[in-house]
Amino acid sequence: MAIPSLPLADGGSIPQLALGTWELTGSKCVQAVEAALELGYTHIDTADLYNNHRDIAKAISGRVRESFFLTSKVWHSNLKGPDVLKCAQRFLRELNTPYLDLLLIHWPNRGIPLSSTLPAFEQLLAEGKIRHFGVSNCTPRHIADIRKAAPDLPICCEQVEFHPMFYQKELLEYCKADNLVLEAYSPLGRAQELKRSEIAQIAAKHDKTPAQVVLRWELDLGIVPLPKASSRAHLAENLDVFDFKLDEGDKRTLESLPQKRLVDLPLLGDFNYQ
């Protein structure tokens, strides 16, 4: 089944399931992205930090550019306007693509004024080098500050850690009310809790795997999970999530699991996060 899309605040749309590529580099990355595209994935998530743009370029070469959605991210130390422009230019070269579908601020940086950062993203949109703008690891306060600093710049996505073991319900409600698509990173909780009996029981009931149950729950919430997988078996499994439904009891169970954040934001104090 084709992957559905969600509407974006700027009138565009985004495929609702992506391949995450953190920790995929070299031939492992090329093979995983090639396999994903063959299997029917239409959305690849990368970042400057992942050091795999050139590998992804190999995997997408020869593909019709409009047939897939490509996201990258600018790291927090490169958020001065001229640096954003230089990064974007380099990303296009490294990825061998005329445009990025989505470019995100990877982490906010209070040390660099938004009045420097945001005009660069506006310029990239106007020049057609990026199609959509978004953020990652931002709080509602950061998002409000961005809106205030650049009222005409549509913020399409907020990419954050999100999985049943870190169910950010309030942030999701905020994103929905503010017309932002929430992208779920580490959507499988890095596979650390997939063997939990509560998830295994739901999976057995639907004749699906724990990973498929977790992804189905996220899709039902109207968000975009970005599962990373390196084997063809995992890639295929994570795509095979469009032919079953969770019931209300399943959802209640998934929404009451013990909570544990994987990416520890307080540790990132030196990024001027607050």
Ligand X SMILES: NC(=O)c1ccc[n+]([C@@H]2O[C@H](COP(=O)([O-])OP(=O)(O)OC[C@H]3O[C@@H](n4cnc5c(N)ncnc54)[C@H](OP(=O)(O)O)[C@@H]3O)[C@@H](O)[C@H]2O)c1
Residues that bind ligand X (CB under 6 A): 20-22, 45, 106, 136-137, 159, 185-191, 194, 209, 211, 226-231, 234, 237-238, 263
Per-residue HEC secondary structure of the chain comes to CCCCEEECCCCCEEECCCEECCCCCHHHHHHHHHHHHHHCCCEEECCHHHCCHHHHHHHHCCCCHHHCEEEEEECHHHCCHHHHHHHHHHHHHHHCCCCEEEEEECCCCCCCCHHHHHHHHHHHHHCCCEEEEEEECCCHHHHHHHHHHCCCCCCCEEEEECECCECCHHHHHHHHHCCCEEEEECCCHHHCCCCCHHHHHHHHHHCCCHHHHHHHHHHHCCCEECCECCCHHHHHHHHCCCCCCCCHHHHHHHCCCCCCCCCCHHHHHHHCCC
CB of residue 87 to ligand X, shortest distance in Å = 15
Between 144 and 233, CB nearer to ligand X: 233
Between 123 and 205, CB nearer to ligand X: 205
Q: CB count, 10 Å around CB of 51?
A: 16
Between 23 and 127, CB nearer to ligand X: 23
CB of residue 197 to ligand X, shortest distance in Å = 16
Between 15 and 227, CB nearer to ligand X: 227
Between 80 and 190, CB nearer to ligand X: 190
CB of residue 107 to ligand X, shortest distance in Å = 7
Between 16 and 186, CB nearer to ligand X: 186
State how far Cα 119 lies from the chain centre.
23
Residue with the CB atom nearest ligand X in the bound state: 20
CB of residue 24 to ligand X, shortest distance in Å = 7
CB of residue 97 to ligand X, shortest distance in Å = 17
Annotation marks residue 50 as catalytic: yes
Residue 188 to residue 18: CA distance in whole angstroms: 13
- Active-site residue among 41, 50, 185, 273? 50
Q: Exposure pattern of 64-99 as b/e (b: 16+ CB <10 Å)?
A: eeeebbbbbbbbbebbbbebbbebbeebbebbebeb
Catalytic positions, please?
A: 50
